[in-house]
A and B are shown apart, each in its own frame.
Chain A
Amino acid sequence: MNENVLIKTEKLSKTFSNNGRMQHILKNIDMKIYDGDFTIIMGPSGAGKSTLLYALSGMDTPTLGNIYFKDKNITKYNQDKLALFRRKHCGFVFQQIYLVESMSIMDNVLASGLLTKKNKKEVVEEAYKLLEKVDIRREYVKKFPTQISGGEAQRVGIARALINKPDVLFADEPTGALNSKTGTDVLNLLTSVNEAGQSIVMVTHDIKSALRGNRILYVKDGEIAGEINIGKYGENNEKRHNELSDFLVRMGW
């Protein structure tokens, strides 16, 4: 485990009012995300996993508490400042993939890449490199998102998320909408970028995906109910699997 703290929260709370009733979704969460980790967030449906992920990533602001990103307090940032923060530091991969349907694959990646870098030639080069890395054939880059398969689309999504070399890649159930074969491709891709040093925070429901991470946090009723370190994917996968299973049983999965 790398000891460099990337994100730190203090008494992070999130409250929604549902028809006038206050609902405390995140309750005084103190936690850290470490640089280089493949952090997994698990927990029952409705526990607040996505809420936590989007608070950590500056997609949403907490009701109470503080969030530090590399010692910088981003809690009080307004929407536009958060957008600038996101483009600089975060990459996102969504369950529903969310490519812009009116733009070609290449343009989807470039629209993100050109946010931080001005040199178009470099960005284009980088985009081709990334698309190659995520196994998108060169003749596909001119296609539209609706003209490629879900798995391909999600890999484009990952390329888009990586183009700005984010400090951390956030993924909310990135394989949720994919079949098992294409899901595995996506997981392999995430694993390999993590191996190359990319920090990842991923929300997932299934153990197979969770095994790709080295640190698993379990969210329950708006609190971190527990966590476990099982080491990086690849070595002793059987042992890791057992440790994780035991952990999940303990957490009441």
Chain B
Amino acid sequence: MKKELLLAKSNIRKGKGITVGLILLIILAAAFFNLVLVIFNDVNKNVNKCAERLNTEDVNIQIAGDISSITDEYIESIINKNNVKDYELLRANIFYAVVTKYGDGEVTPNIVFEKKDSALNARIGKSEIVEEDNSISGIFIYLPYQYHTGGKFNLGDEFKVTILGKEYTFKIKGFINNITMGSYNTGDLLMIVDDDTYNDILVKNNNTYNYLRIKTKVNENVNKAVFGNDFLKTITSKDNTLSVYSGVIDDYIFGRTFIALIIGVSFLAFSLIILVIVFLMLSNSISNYIKENIETIGAIKAIGFTSKNIKVSFMLQFAILSVIGTILGLGLSYLMIPFITGIITTQVGIPYNVVFNPVVAVTTIVTLIAIIIISVLFFTRKTKKIEPITALRDGISTHNFKKNKIPIETSKLPININLAIKTMFINMKQNIITFIVVFFLVFNGVISLIMMQNFSIKPKISLLTFELCDGAIFTDEDKDKEVFEYIKSLDHVKNVRLISNESVEADNTTLSAYILNNDCSLKNIDVCYKGRLPQYNNEVALSGKYCENYNHSIGDEIEIGVGNQKAKYIITGFIQTTNNNGQEAVIREDGAHQIFKKDFKKLYYFDVDEGTNIDDCLDNIKNRFGDKIGSTVNFQKVIDGSITIFKTISNMMVVAMIAIGVLIILLVLYLLIKTLINNKRKEYGILKAIGYTSKDVILQNAISFMPSIILSVIISCFISSKIANPYLTMMMSSFGIMKATFEVPVTYVAVMGVGFIVISFLFAVLLSRKIRKIEAYNLLRGE
């Protein structure tokens, strides 16, 4: 083993530049590999651990409306003790679509207020304090932690909300964490307020509660969704004027972490591509290395090394590189992780401490080393055949020139370009590698640019929300549609439509149903990606993801119900949204009345003519109807608020991918050009001797890589732009997006492509400057 080690060490020392290049590639591979594993492993684990710590409910049943008849005794009497381990009731007041500031805009969550003691001391689904400033007193509020990480609020800041027509100005005393009521992505938010404010709100609400939350822990083997759904049925069959909803912990967690998962999946895709590139380069370097050292191999065989010795020494050599590379890569990974988890926390809103994950680290190290060793074995399989005599006497010719590509005699190219193209043909294998590498890097770049374009520059809201509009009005009391008619009558207002949201049930599953007024025309044409929206009262459009799971096709009949009221509907189309985990339905108002015997909570959407001030419009309606209006929403602000996270992620992704792309192309060109110059040392010496300047030869060398780079950039820009949407659909389908229709930012893609070509050329020239050192004179002396 000792002599193999010596051999390995001397090899590493001899090829210093290549060694460093390879180590850098391994570092990148290890860093990304580890990063992805950590995201997939620890982010969910962290959330689950937190859920356990807070004894989070498995299923919660929410009942809103006049809940006076739903007494504690009644609940106790209907709860199925076979299924339920434990339950706890929370009676409170809920306020729908309350407009709050958030990040660069606004969000409109449903807010439930609680007192500090009961929130923190709940037995099930309790809240915990993440940060708190005890010096703050008076009118204070504890906000969900997400308002700090994503909403950019800090302790001591002012926080304003309007509840029942009264504007409250709180001081932020702390940030809390609650799994099922801690993220605007899952709809309802729990906020703790001081006792005086709590009582004030209660009095304003006629000393009654309008909201009951039954937090249940169920036994193992109980299907949570079915349990929740059955419970809702029991409630609505007693009183179907109530609004009910049931949620399952898994869905809450998914709802809170799915953007983290999107980040994870994107990084996974990018990392896989980087890994492919790294292994391509590794195997290429190994095979080149062996080729270049074939004479040495012959010589050391001659002095008594066996081919097994040689193989072992190669393996040792690359094992040493892999160990160094993977360990440094892990280090780099943990430098990057806080950055990524920071962004994840922004969205998840659950504190996350980066801890070293030894299992993942070992997996990274073992996987990478194994793959590297296997490729070494593969490429050294030929060493056995090398006879010392042949290797020493004639070397083993690496090239067998057969065809004179682009003969100078007949070509029209300037001589330097002509020689460059000849070099390219001789160096075909390396150029193919360059082509593949550039192709993937450009693909990564194009995807990042598309994400930037559609999440940051011109957010593709249509894929993230059910409906688009300019303004929205939420009201609970508009039985005679007075408000509706008034909005319609306003100048510069158009396309007023009503969209209510209620829970319905199908296939024993709770669906969130959008109920559209009969002549409603949705502005969001992307939402129904296949078929059409319902046009008659017996029609329904359903989430594509849901139909996939339950094997429903367009044209099928499906039974939908609320409590005991059921009706049959024909599926006319599939919709896609990222809300409610892809369990959504669209029916018309007249269709809904077949199963609902009550008035719906009403959300009016409307658009305005260009140049109309939306806030003035909303104020006008608010002033006219006063308390009748629950809240008013300036949609653009809500977009700005909820898009903050996407902006951050997509911008970061572009920067990261371009930086990594540039770094990788630099590394790859470094390794390839180094090999090329080595192989062509003699030829370049001859050219210099007969009067070619260094500049000529450097340009020839650099230009020889350009056709494959330029071709690859052009083809990749084109293909990537074409397949981006199907590719993103595939990646995002588990999040409910079934047919991505992202816009390709052609200009940016073109700029990136040109930039990539220019940068590659500059790198190639820079790296080729080593040719200056090849002196014709040294060649003549036989060096």
Which residues in A have some Cβ–Cβ distance to B below 8 Å? Answer: 50, 54, 59-60, 79-80, 83-84, 86-88, 90, 92, 94, 96, 98-104, 106-107, 110-112, 114-116, 124, 142, 144, 146, 160-161, 164, 172
Contacts and interface: CB of A to CB of B under 8 A. Distances in A.
B692 interface: yes
Contacts of A115: 415, 690-692
B683 A101 contact: yes
B408 A92 contact: no
A96 B689 CA distance: 13
Interface stretch (B190-198, B612-620, B718-726, B775-783): B775-783
Contacts of B446: none
Contact of A84 (B415, B426, B693): B693
Contacts of A100: 683, 686-687
A121 B690 CA distance: 21
Give the interface SS of chain B, mostly helix, strand, loop or mixed. helix
B415 A103 contact: no
Nearest to B685: A98
Contacts of A112: 690-691
Contacts of B682: 98
A88 B685 CA distance: 18
A83 B687 CA distance: 10
A60 B686 contact: no
Contacts of B781: 50
Given A87-B690, A112-B690, A107 B772 contact: no
Nearest to B411: A120
Given A83-B688, A86-B690, A112-B690, 20 more contacts: A50-B781, A54-B780, A59-B776, A60-B775, A60-B777, A80-B694, A83-B691, A83-B694, A84-B691, A90-B691, A98-B686, A99-B686, A100-B686, A101-B399, A103-B422, A107-B409, A111-B408, A115-B692, A144-B401, A172-B780
Nearest to B679: A102
B407 interface: yes
A144 B397 CA distance: 15
A217 B415 CA distance: 39
Given A59-B777, A101-B683, A103-B422, A110 B772 contact: no
Contacts of A50: 780-781
Contacts of B487: none
Q: Which 7 A-B pairs give the minimum distances between C-beta atoms?
A: A87-B691, A104-B404, A83-B693, A114-B415, A80-B693, A110-B408, A86-B691
Interface string B752-783: 00000000000000000000100111011110
A88 B696 CA distance: 15
Contacts of B690: 86-87, 92, 111-112, 115, 160-161
23 contacts: A50-B781, A54-B777, A59-B777, A60-B775, A79-B693, A83-B688, A86-B690, A86-B691, A87-B690, A92-B690, A96-B782, A98-B682, A100-B683, A101-B401, A102-B399, A102-B401, A106-B407, A106-B408, A111-B408, A111-B415, A111-B690, A115-B415, A172-B780
A133 to B, nearest CB: 18
A107 B775 CA distance: 22
B419 interface: yes
A106 B696 CA distance: 20
Nearest to B691: A87
A87 B694 CA distance: 13
A80 B776 CA distance: 12
Contacts of B160: none
B49 interface: no
B415 A79 contact: no
Contacts of A107: 404, 407-409, 422
Nearest to A60: B777
Interface in B676-718: 682-683, 685-696
